Chain A
Amino acid sequence: MDILLAIAIMALGAVVLGAALGFASVKFKVEGDPLVEKIEGILPQTQCGQCGFPGCKPYAEAIAKGEVDINLCPPGGMEGVQKLADLLGREVKELEAEEKPKQVAIIDENICIGCTLCIQACPVDAIVGAAKQMHTIIAPLCTGCELCLPPCPVECISMEAIGENLDNWKWKYPVVEIKAAVLQKAA
């Protein structure tokens, strides 16, 4: 008798908990796919296409589906790969392409012919100009995606690395190797 009672209690408990879970899965269902948004939040929004997808959102969707690797985004750098790995629980891999320092494009105004091809190519509208008028790149808006370099028929666009200046300078991480500190004191 005791054992039948025990089984009955366990069964009842399972039914109650199952009902609760089912109710919660219906009542608290989240619309849309928040994972894609989270992944997109990590990607740098350069819209350069180096990952092989036409923009950051398609790449995010592909990652969410599990179709591609997380190490295809050079502008995000290893830090981006690390963040994606943390979010998705996947392994951290080396970047496919080589990581370049942050750069902006600059137009040599002496050579520019005002063809507007680069303006059409820029995915984030960082180039100002009109037909037969001088074109210029608004440096703070440029993401360094390099999509404007190929279309230019006179090759007047080049990339320049953003150096450290007083506005973007950061304090360094103060952790030093213990051995180094002790050796310095002895020296």
Chain B
Amino acid sequence: MFAPAPFLLKNTSVSQVMTQVCIALIPAIAAYAWLVGPAILVQLVIATFTALLAEAVMLYLQRKPLALFLPDGSAIVTAWLIALTFPPLAPWWLIVVGTFFAIVVAKHLYGGLGQNPFNPAMVAFAVCIVSFPALMSQWPNVGLQASLTEQINIILGFSPRVDALSGATPLDAMKTALKLGDGGVDIAQLLANQDIYGNFAGRGWEWVAAAYLLGGLWMWQRKLITWHIPFAYIASIVLISGALWLYNPAQFANPLFHLFSGGTMLGAFFIATDPVSGCTTPRGKLIFAAGAGLLTYIIRVFGGYPDGVAFAILLMNLCAPVIDLLTQPPIFGMKDEA
């Protein structure tokens, strides 16, 4: 009988890690369902089901044991992130296409768990927003009074898509207003419109972002993530948005707005921290996240899309291996030479 040391191991496993990530997402899902509508729960179900099915098929094709790999929970985390970043009333097939692409192409075609160079959820988002830009920008107005049954009907395509769906996110609204205003609009005036912008960053959405922050802090306390990535991401957004806001507060929103709107908090704690596609050395993590934050802001303000989290993270995923190579920390005993 051959068994190598160590003979006693710490009580941890991949599925434990993934389960804790899902638990950290629950406050945000609850806030989402309460404030924006229960459609998110339906999307979560569709996404989870598709993800597990796609994963099972791919594992079977690769002759890997399903009993071992299916319960590891990584597909479920990807599915939940997709459901949270796509519009809640998106048609069911859009979620299915996105999830399918994430699991099959972005994850398994690169080799499966631990081998994907790009974050699968962000790949799905990028593919869908480029292929179906209209559908991906139809967000519901907050406080939509449609019941759960009506929302399900809309998702499944049984009811027609009504005007109540063609609202934009707060970020989108601001971008459009700025463009239309062509320099003559003052952001402070815009933000006064509480129907769209809520208290500081978007009616309803700001609390969802706060819930992401809460979940992220819980993950940090449980040592699932280190402080480097969230800190660097948030700090870089604060720095650049703060600098530009101080320079011209009429044209550039304040840092608080940028932090709590869109996918900033979700990206900082849940997406950029994906260990497989990100950097692993401490300095590398800081550089990676700072770069992602910078790119997010630039795409938001100067680029073509209302929210740049997905593309920013994908671009930094490209650089992650080189950043890792160049930021290898000095080892024990070699710090003087390094």
Asked whether A and B interact, the reply is yes
Query: Which residue numbers of A lie inside 8 Å of B, CB to CB?
Result: 174, 178-179, 182
- Residues on the B chain within 8 Å of A178, using CB: 64-65, 68
- Residues on the B chain within 8 Å of A182, using CB: 65, 67-68
CB distance from B52 to the nearest CB of A (A): 20
Query: What 0/1 readout, one digit per residue, does chain B (221-247) give for beta carbons within 8 Å of chain A?
Result: 000000000000000000000000000
- Residues on the A chain within 8 Å of B65, using CB: 178-179, 182
Instruction: Please report the C-alpha to C-alpha distance between residue A174 and residue B68 in the assembled complex, in whole angstroms.
Output: 19
Closest to B68 in A: A182
- Residues on the A chain within 8 Å of B68, using CB: 178, 182
Instruction: Please report the C-alpha to C-alpha distance between residue A174 and residue B3 in the assembled complex, in whole angstroms.
Output: 11
- Residues on the B chain within 8 Å of A174, using CB: 4
CB distance from B236 to the nearest CB of A (A): 39
Instruction: Please report the C-alpha to C-alpha distance between residue A174 and residue B63 in the assembled complex, in whole angstroms.
Output: 20
Closest to A184 in B: B1
Interface of A is mostly: helix
- A-facing residues in B1-37 (Cβ within 8 Å): 4
Closest to B1 in A: A184
Query: Which residue numbers of B lie inside 8 Å of A, CB to CB?
Result: 4, 63-65, 67-68
Closest to A182 in B: B65
Q: Which 7 A-B pairs rank lowest in CB-CB distance, beginning with the nearest?
A: A182-B65, A182-B68, A178-B64, A178-B65, A179-B65, A182-B67, A178-B68
Instruction: Please report the C-alpha to C-alpha distance between residue A174 and residue B2 in the assembled complex, in whole angstroms.
Output: 11
CB distance from A38 to the nearest CB of B (A): 26
Instruction: Please report the C-alpha to C-alpha distance between residue A179 and residue B63 in the assembled complex, in whole angstroms.
Output: 9
CB distance from A84 to the nearest CB of B (A): 29
- Residues on the B chain within 8 Å of A179, using CB: 63, 65
CB distance from A171 to the nearest CB of B (A): 10
Closest to B65 in A: A182
Supply 6 A–B pairs (Cβ within 8 Å), ascending by A.
A174-B4, A178-B64, A178-B65, A178-B68, A182-B65, A182-B68
Instruction: Please report the C-alpha to C-alpha distance between residue A179 and residue B68 in the assembled complex, in whole angstroms.
Output: 10
CB distance from B67 to the nearest CB of A (A): 7
Other A-B contacts than A178-B64, A182-B67, A182-B68, 6 sampled, CB-CB below 8 A, are A174-B4, A178-B65, A178-B68, A179-B63, A179-B65, A182-B65
Instruction: Please report the C-alpha to C-alpha distance between residue A181 and residue B88 in the assembled complex, in whole angstroms.
Output: 42
- Residues on the A chain within 8 Å of B63, using CB: 179
CB distance from A19 to the nearest CB of B (A): 32
- Residues on the A chain within 8 Å of B4, using CB: 174
Instruction: Please report the C-alpha to C-alpha distance between residue A179 and residue B64 in the assembled complex, in whole angstroms.
Output: 8
Instruction: Please report the C-alpha to C-alpha distance between residue A178 and residue B67 in the assembled complex, in whole angstroms.
Output: 12
CB distance from B55 to the nearest CB of A (A): 16
Instruction: Please report the C-alpha to C-alpha distance between residue A182 and residue B64 in the assembled complex, in whole angstroms.
Output: 10
Closest to B62 in A: A178
Closest to A186 in B: B67
CB distance from A3 to the nearest CB of B (A): 34
Closest to A172 in B: B2
CB distance from A177 to the nearest CB of B (A): 10
CB distance from B114 to the nearest CB of A (A): 14
Closest to A185 in B: B68
- Residues on the A chain within 8 Å of B64, using CB: 178
CB distance from B5 to the nearest CB of A (A): 12
Instruction: Please report the C-alpha to C-alpha distance between residue A85 and residue B5 in the assembled complex, in whole angstroms.
Output: 37
Instruction: Please report the C-alpha to C-alpha distance between residue A160 and residue B247 in the assembled complex, in whole angstroms.
Output: 84
Closest to B67 in A: A182
CB distance from A100 to the nearest CB of B (A): 29
CB distance from A30 to the nearest CB of B (A): 28
The interface centre, meaning the residue of B63, B64, B65, B67 with most chain A CB atoms within 10 A of its CB, is B65
Instruction: Please report the C-alpha to C-alpha distance between residue A147 and residue B61 in the assembled complex, in whole angstroms.
Output: 53
Closest to B63 in A: A179
CB distance from B130 to the nearest CB of A (A): 33
CB distance from B72 to the nearest CB of A (A): 13
Instruction: Please report the C-alpha to C-alpha distance between residue A178 and residue B63 in the assembled complex, in whole angstroms.
Output: 10
Closest to A179 in B: B65
Instruction: Please report the C-alpha to C-alpha distance between residue A179 and residue B67 in the assembled complex, in whole angstroms.
Output: 11
Instruction: Please report the C-alpha to C-alpha distance between residue A182 and residue B67 in the assembled complex, in whole angstroms.
Output: 9
Instruction: Please report the C-alpha to C-alpha distance between residue A138 and residue B212 in the assembled complex, in whole angstroms.
Output: 73
Instruction: Please report the C-alpha to C-alpha distance between residue A178 and residue B68 in the assembled complex, in whole angstroms.
Output: 10
CB distance from B15 to the nearest CB of A (A): 16
